[in-house]
Amino acid sequence: MKSKRNSGVLMHISSLPGKYGIGTMGAEARDFIDRLAAMGFRSWQVLPLNPTDDKGSPYCSCSAFAGNIAFIDPEELCLQEYITEEDISPWEYNGSPYRSDFAFAEESRLALLRAAFDSMDEDTRELMAIFARQNPWVEDYAYYMALREHYEKKPWWEWDENHARYEKAIQVKEEFRRQTEFYIFTQYIFFTQWRSLKEYAGGKGVCIIGDMPIYVSRDSADVWRSRELFEIDEETLALTRVAGVPPDYFSEDGQLWGNPLYNWKKMKEDGFGWWIARLSASLKLYDRVRIDHFRAFASYWAVPADSETAKNGEWLKGPGMDLFEKVRKALPEADIIAEDLGTFGEDVVQLLEDSGFPGMRVIQFGFDPGGDSTHLPHNYSKNAVAYIGTHDNNTILGWLWDASEQERAFALRYCCYGGTNWGEGGAHSGSCRAVIEALWRSSADTAIVPIQDMCGFGKDARMNIPGTDEDNWTFRITRQGLDLIDAAYFKEINSVYRRMY
């Protein structure tokens, strides 16, 4: 993939159509892969497959390694005779087909997985044991989830002292053996279904681009298991500093993410073993891995834990090439995309150059009428992944509506839009197509379009608004919506601009 000119579509698994409250790894995912291949797309980019937080965000997960059980397909469970059709029927979703319902999906999958676990035969038990041996992280994750269930989802630092501290909790682990085994089983099922789907995609010539959040949640198995790798007060278990970004394009107060920061000095002592393990696991999941907020490896924004906004932080030096030299040695074939957006600096530029990883370009960021932005397609290098927009951006039609008159005029002129009704949406939107084609003509080896922009949707279809925590991550498309995409058009531009191979 590194040396071949190609294109792809950005759409999360959760946004697929289907009957179970959220997109799954079942038949609808395979149908989507078939559509991509038929249009000449060679990449499908998804958001992180980790469990989400209670707002549906996959960037604040209880595990950097685990898969989201909401994506498990009930019909696949039935085909494999873990459960019956009678088990499934009460869990068909009756809500809106245009929104993902994470709470319903989690509740229903847990119920179905418990039924499957109770009926598990010895052959499955042995396969599950092999899976656990091959994935050393899963035992501690499953134990953490068993304890989390015991404490009714309270965060680990509010648990009894004998459980909040891993070194003590490990001594009483057998008390929670059956529940621990259940959560190992859920991951065995997730990874079995995902491996099958990924193999199907590969057979169709479609690679999977995954997404790795740089930080993990404080309330996660990772932090509970390895407190010493994070900036945490050992006596109080409180965070000392937290992650975020300073004021930028998305927010005048910056973004206060609140994730624990890494203790890079401690991580370096064993050659960044935790990061090597994490990247290795991700590269098994995906063909390519996009690392979110890559710039934090060069320098990161550290905010005092008691701050109310991200304004009061400071830049601190990250691990830089010390880390990626170890990655190169351990994972020489690692295909990594660096999300290098946001606040820039010479240290980030140097790290990208030294690592050789492709950076990102987003055409929406380029339309300053008086500037010559690196995000304008004529400035793209081959070693770049170019986007119409990311999960954090407005749709292109929504952006055109919200842009200033000067920005919009420049964008339409730059993209050679010759029509008279730029505000018209839908699958044949001329203004959206003009922007897509401008990006497709660029030198960037990889060009990515969000599914929303293939359909000409407005801003009500965007995936996330950074700095807010309500009504995000819920966008979902119907099968009828997919049918309205002009497949012949996308096959044509992939052919004309040599992004089909």
Looking at residue 234, its pLDDT comes to 94
Assign 3-class secondary structure to 139-154. HHHHHHHHHHHHCCCC
State which H helix or E strand residue 6 sits in: strand 6-10
Spell out a b/e string for 190-204, using b for 16 or more CB atoms within 10 Å of the CB, else e: bbbbbeebbeebeee
Mean pLDDT value of segment 353-373 = 96
Active site residue 392: yes
**H runs (alpha helix) in 176-220:** 177-203
Q: What is the pLDDT of residues 157-183, one digit of tens each?
A: 999 999 999 999 999 999 999 999 999
Looking at residue 342, its pLDDT comes to 73
Structure token pair of residue 33: 């892969």
State which H helix or E strand residue 408 sits in: helix 405-414
**Candidates 211, 231, 392, 453; catalytic one:** 392
Give me the chain's average pLDDT, please: 96
Q: What is the pLDDT of residues 40-65, one digit of tens each?
A: 999 999 999 999 999 999 999 999 99
Mean pLDDT value of segment 247-253 = 77
Looking at residue 134, its pLDDT comes to 97
**Is the backbone of residue 198 left (phi > 0), alpha (psi -120 to 50) or beta?**
alpha
Residue 281 amino acid letter: A
- Those residues whose C-beta lies under 8 Å from the C-beta of residue 384, and which sit 6 or more positions away, are 358, 359, 360, 361, 443, 444, 445, 446
Kindly report the backbone phi and psi dihedral angles of residue 63, in degrees, each rounded to the nearest multiple of 5, phi listed first. Answer: -160, 135
Mean pLDDT value of segment 292-318 = 94
Q: What is the pLDDT of residues 104-126, one digit of tens each?
A: 999 999 999 999 999 999 999 99
- Residue-wise DSSP of 107-148: HHHHHHHHHHHHT--HHHHHHHHHHHHH-THHHHHHHHHHHH
Q: What is the pLDDT of residues 34-46, one digit of tens each?
A: 999 999 999 999 9
Matching residue, tokens 């970004």 = 245
State which H helix or E strand residue 76 sits in: helix 74-79
For residue 395, the 8-state DSSP code is: P
**% residues pLDDT > 90 (the chain):** 93
Matching residue, tokens 């269930």 = 149
Active site residue 292: yes
Looking at residue 1, its pLDDT comes to 42
Mean pLDDT value of segment 79-95 = 96
Half-sphere exposure of 133 (CA within 13 A, CB side): 6
pLDDT-derived band at 4, boundaries 50, 70, 90: confident
**Candidates 339, 340, 445, 453; catalytic one:** 339
Looking at residue 247, its pLDDT comes to 84
Looking at residue 216, its pLDDT comes to 95
Closest CA to 337 of 317, 355, 319, 322: 355
pLDDT at 2 over 70: no
Half-sphere exposure of 272 (CA within 13 A, CB side): 22
Dihedral sign for Cα atoms in the order 57, 397, 450, 101: positive
Mean pLDDT value of segment 447-472 = 94
Matching residue, tokens 């909401």 = 70
Closest CA to 450 of 393, 373, 493: 393
pLDDT at 184 over 80: yes
Residue 300, SS3 per DSSP: strand
pLDDT-derived band at 343, boundaries 50, 70, 90: low
Looking at residue 88, its pLDDT comes to 97
State which H helix or E strand residue 97 sits in: none
- Residue-wise DSSP of 415-451: TT---S-TT--STT-HHHHHHHHHHHTSS-SEEEEEH
Mean pLDDT value of segment 66-82 = 97
Looking at residue 255, its pLDDT comes to 87
Active site residue 405: no
**Candidates 181, 211, 219, 292; catalytic one:** 292
Matching residue, tokens 């830089």 = 320
Looking at residue 374, its pLDDT comes to 95
Looking at residue 485, its pLDDT comes to 97
pLDDT at 3 over 60: no
